Amino acid sequence: MAQDEQPQIYLITPPEIELSSFPATLASVLDAQDVACVRLALATHDEDTLCRAADALREITEQRDVALVIERHILLVERLGLDGVHLTDGTRSVAKARKELGQEAIVGSFCGNSRHDGMAAGEASADYVSFGPIGATALGDGTQAEFDLLEWWSQVIEVPAVSEGALDEALIAKFAPVTDFFGIGDEIWSQDVPAEALARLMKAMG
């Protein structure tokens, strides 16, 4: 990424959403700020719930020309008319997803804090890799993706990088020069007015 370019915003849905209200909330955020992609990241494995959520969000994103990817479920991408898949198992499913979905689909891979996994995912034709958590969190094993990793990646690797997890204004200001996208989720959905919360975070990019 050129140093004079600001990172783009990549929104991550909450693990549970209310279909009676969340689509409207998402629409208000997309109307207020320029967003590149939305990831449907529900915790449920209930197929009907996933399909209804995807249908509702796709209507919102398509109207605004924003890409919509689903977390993990490769087989639902074509069936639901989505733009791609976000994989959470490092590099293991990247080649399979690419074969299943073709060259036009978005295939992203979460690689934690592993430079090796990121490089392998890129070699396996991932469109982007995501690293995180960037901030401190009690979730997982406490391992964080450090600034040095993103700095190295931005200088050496052409595959776009997403920085996500426990972000705040200070971290966004710090990582903005070395990342292509910020993955924003709970940081805004937990706030009273998510669009305003996102605007505050974006302002920190400088």
Query: pLDDT, tens digit, for every residue of 166-195?
Result: 999 999 999 999 999 999 999 999 999 999
pLDDT beyond 80 at 2: no
Q: How confident is the model at residue 26 (pLDDT cuts 50, 70, 90)?
A: very high
Percent of the chain with pLDDT over 70: 98
pLDDT beyond 70 at 1: no
Q: Which domains does the chain have, with CATH numbers?
A: 8-203 (3.20.20.70)
Question: How high is the mean pLDDT of the chain?
Answer: 95
Give the three-class secondary structure for 179.
coil
What pLDDT was estimated at residue 137?
A: 87
181 forms bridges with which residues in the sheet?
Answer: 8, 162
Q: How confident is the model at residue 4 (pLDDT cuts 50, 70, 90)?
A: low
CA dihedral 206, 148, 119, 3 (to 10 degrees): 30
pLDDT beyond 80 at 139: no
Q: What residues contact residue 13 under an 8 Å CB cut-off, 6+ apart?
A: 22, 26, 38, 39, 40, 41, 42, 57, 185, 189
Mean pLDDT score, 28-43: 98
Prediction pTM value = 0.96
Return the higher-pLDDT residue of 115 and 140: 115
Q: Which of 40, 39, 29 is nearest to 64 (CA)?
A: 29
pLDDT beyond 70 at 52: yes
Distances (CA, A) of 152 to 16, 119, 175, 177, 178: 35, 12, 12, 12, 8
Q: How confident is the model at residue 131 (pLDDT cuts 50, 70, 90)?
A: very high
Mean pLDDT score, 68-78: 97
Return the higher-pLDDT residue of 9 and 140: 9
pLDDT beyond 90 at 97: yes
pLDDT beyond 50 at 202: yes
What pLDDT was estimated at residue 3?
A: 44
What pLDDT was estimated at residue 33?
A: 95
